Amino acid sequence: MSTYYAALFADVGILLLGAISVYIILATGQLSLGNAGFMAIGAYVASYLTVKIGLPLMVALLLAAVVAGAVGVVIGFPALRLKGIYLAMATLGFGEMVRSFFLNLESMGGAGGFHGMAHVSPVYVWGWAGSILLLVTLLERSRVWLEMCAVHDDETVAGFIGLNTTVIKVSAFGFGAAVAAIAGGLFAHHHIYIEPGNFGFERSIDFVLAVILGGSTVAIGALVGAALLVFLPETLRFFADWRLAAFGVLLVLVLLVRRQGLLDRAMFMRSIFKARRA
Amino acid sequence: MSIVGGYAGCFVLLQQLVNGVTLGSVYTLIALSFSLVMGILGVLNLAIAELFMFGAYLGFSVIARGLPLPLAIVTGMAGTTIIAMVIEKIAYEPLRDMPVIAPMLSTLGFSIILQNLATNIWGSDPLQLPPELFDTRFSMGTISIGAMQLVVIGVTIVLVALLAFIVQRTAIGRALRAVAENREVARLLGVRAGRLTLVAFALSGALAGAAGVLIGLHYATVTPYIGVETGLKAIAVMVVGGTTRIWGALLAGPLIGILEVLTVVYGGAPVRDFTVYGIMILILLLRPQGILGGASTEQGLRV
């Protein structure tokens, strides 16, 4: 595998984590357009810890996840008051605020960016991405996930049957934020340079795009979406100038024709039950 | 538009107020564009940010050929109106009965397409408008106003008046307000809701296009990124004005424009975006009906 493809491979892993962060929050019916903000927090906190404090990367990533997760919970509480588009707008604003914050944080380089991180290999990135994907896939088979789906389908009814919708929605925000932070920390240590511009609105959109294209009802859909987003432009080289437009068209098509995304839950259920019957 | 002036503080302030109002005019137009669709249909058309950018480029192309300014504005508006109608047909109409997130995401698809289209046609480097456009300045005492600033403010006033007339005085406007009130009842009363949706998108597209041409005149340059930089900020302006009432933008636009310019003057340039989006989030949380909107209603939390 050439270095070039290795780099792409790492990008898929990072995008996968970003997509999972959106997916977890979306599973409770909340759309976040500001997850790049959590990613930025993760990237900056992890880089600060490894470069300035000298902590090992593993510890730095976990701490970054905790910090961003806490921010996610703090954001999650007021977010309870907002639904649908209003939540989308508020999270969009949050993402832009975080970007603007790091733009002004001179101690971490401000607009000039921050570097000095030790490079990590794509394999390391995938160690994290794979584990978290596995974790979420396992979570999908748990009761907690059923409760999240209940909140997604009908929050009022979920409340009636005794679920604590507040805890479920806020935890989803916190967990999603933590995953986005790990994506950020890995991004920082793979690209060994970060600047606030890396974590703008477009990044948040990429995450959402990967989830919606790949499938918004199964975690593995995020993997398909992320791979599609990174590798499709590579296979369509002759098409290079138009690859973004192609994604735009694809997004509209998926929404029109197959709103659950390329993969969906029913597909997996069917195959599981078939296997059991045999 | 020099920010550092040798004037005494008061004149600097006055000068900056003028600049703030100019920027605010553009915000007002885009925010009106957002809130027309949002207020009437309850949908956030994210493509408006890029329609605005597209309008700026269309206007630029006309001006760069040495053609008159009014033609640039008309071209910008016509182009974005057509695109907005296409968006309505493809991205909104088929998804109308889905949860509101679906049409929002499909308009996002269009915004990606538009941005790609613009970078492919006009390149990603900033384009400069002919500098001689900006030579004429009028002095009023110690403040000076560029002719282009007057154009921006003037065109905004005319367009807002025109929109107010359409919405408040014509049959189409009445029907639009009826659909905004209750789509199903309006249809029972014989309003062709489907056609009116198209009208709402078209009007909104026209405003975004005009705003785009005007922002070119304000900054003297056009880049493919103004959609995200300025267009998205107009969402904040719309929220501050109140998402369900169209006219809140008239107050919120100049307010945010002036606020932005003032934060820049008083050394706060870096915190500009932070402030604007912060205010938006606060309004969303504490006063979802906007700064003007009277009693709190369920509207603010429309799912």
Query: Residue A135: is its pLDDT beyond 70?
Result: yes
Q: Which residues of A touch B303 (CB under 8 A)?
A: 83-84
A234: Cβ contacts below 8 Å, ≥ 6 apart: A8
Query: Residue A277: is its pLDDT beyond 70?
Result: no
Min Cα separation A33/chain B (Å): 11
The owner of tokens 């810890």 is: A49
Determine the pLDDT at residue A204: 94
Taking the CB of residue A257, how many other CB atoms lie within 10 A of it? Answer: 8
Does A234 map to a domain? no
Q: If you ran DSSP here, which 8-state letter would residue B130 be given?
A: P
Does A272 map to a domain? no
b/e string for A210-226 if b means 16 or more Cβ within 10 A? bbbbbbbbbbbbbbbbb
B110 three-state secondary structure? helix
* Total count of residues recorded for chain A: 278
Report the residue from A86, A201, A212 with minimal CB separation from B301.
Answer: A86
Determine the pLDDT at residue B114: 93
Strand ranges, E, within chain A: 114-115, 193-194
Alpha helices in A116-242 (DSSP H): 122-139, 143-153, 155-160, 165-191, 201-214, 219-235
Cβ-defined contact of A93 to B281 (cutoff 8 Å): yes
Taking the CB of residue B138, how many other CB atoms lie within 10 A of it? Answer: 11
**Burial label, B94 (beta-carbon count in 10 A; 0-12, 13-18, 19+):** middle
Choose, out of A23, A31, A33, A85, the residue to mutate when testing the contact with B (most B CBs < 10 Å).
A85
pTM recorded for the entire structure: 0.88
Residue A60, token pair as written in the block = 């730095």
Amino acid identity of residue B134, one-letter, is F
pLDDT digits (tens, 9 = 90+) for B138-171: 877 777 788 888 899 999 999 999 999 998 899 9
Does A277 map to a domain? no
For residue A157, CA distances in Å to A153, A162, B35 come to 9, 9, 32
Does A163 map to a domain? yes
Q: Are A244 and B115 in contact (CB under 8 A)?
A: yes
Task: Give the residue among B30, B293, B44 at the shortest CA–CA distance from A92.
Answer: B44
Kindly provide the ipTM of the predicted complex, given to two decimals.
Answer: 0.85
Domain count, chain A: 1
Determine the pLDDT at residue A219: 87
Q: Which residues of A touch B272 (CB under 8 A)?
A: 100
Exposure on the CB side of residue A176, measured as CA atoms within 13 A: 35
Tell me the residues of chain A between 177 and 216 that have a Cβ less than 8 Å away from chain B. 200-202, 205, 208, 212
Region of poorest pLDDT, from A51-60, A85-94, B253-262, B267-276: B267-276
Min Cα separation B132/chain A (Å): 33
For residue A23, CA distances in Å to A9, A36, A62, A126, A213 come to 21, 14, 20, 18, 12
Choose, out of B51, B233, B274, B297, the residue to mutate when testing the contact with A (most A CBs < 10 Å).
B274
Distance separating alpha carbons of residues B100 and B283, to the nearest angstrom: 21
Cβ-defined contact of B110 to A93 (cutoff 8 Å): no
Does A218 map to a domain? no
Task: Give the residue among A74, A79, A71 at the shortest CA–CA distance from A28.
Answer: A79
Tell me the residues of chain B between 144 and 183 that have a Cβ less than 8 Å away from chain A. none
- Per the structure, the complete domain to which residue A53 belongs is given by 3-200
Which stretches of chain B drop beneath a pLDDT of 50? 1-7, 295-303
Min Cα separation A25/chain B (Å): 14
What percentage of chain B has pLDDT greater than the value 90?
A: 36
Does A8 map to a domain? yes
Task: Measure CA of the first residue to CA of the last residue in chain A; give whole Å.
Answer: 39
Amino acid identity of residue A160, one-letter, is F
Number of H-type helices and E-type strands within chain B: 12, 4
pLDDT digits (tens, 9 = 90+) for A6-31: 888 999 999 999 999 999 999 998 89
Q: Are B211 and B200 in contact (CB under 8 A)?
A: no
Cβ-defined contact of A242 to B116 (cutoff 8 Å): yes
Q: In the structure, what pLDDT confidence band is assigned to residue A85 with cuts at 50, 70 and 90?
A: confident
pLDDT digits (tens, 9 = 90+) for A185-241: 999 999 999 999 999 998 999 999 899 988 888 888 899 999 988 888 777 766 778
For residue B61, CA distances in Å to A9, A109, A245 come to 41, 38, 22
Query: Vertex B102, ends B96 and B103: CA angle to 5°?
Result: 55
Does A216 map to a domain? no
B134: Cβ contacts below 8 Å, ≥ 6 apart: B146, B147, B148, B220
Distance separating alpha carbons of residues B225 and B119, to the nearest angstrom: 10
Q: If you ran DSSP here, which 8-state letter would residue B144 be given?
A: E
Choose, out of B90, B283, B284, the residue to mutate when testing the contact with A (most A CBs < 10 Å).
B284
Min Cα separation B115/chain A (Å): 8
Taking the CB of residue A147, how many other CB atoms lie within 10 A of it? Answer: 18
Strand ranges, E, within chain B: 127-128, 137-140, 143-146, 221-222
Min Cα separation A104/chain B (Å): 6
Does A271 map to a domain? no
Query: Vertex B233, ends B182 and B196: CA angle to 5°?
Result: 25
Residue B241, token pair as written in the block = 């004005």
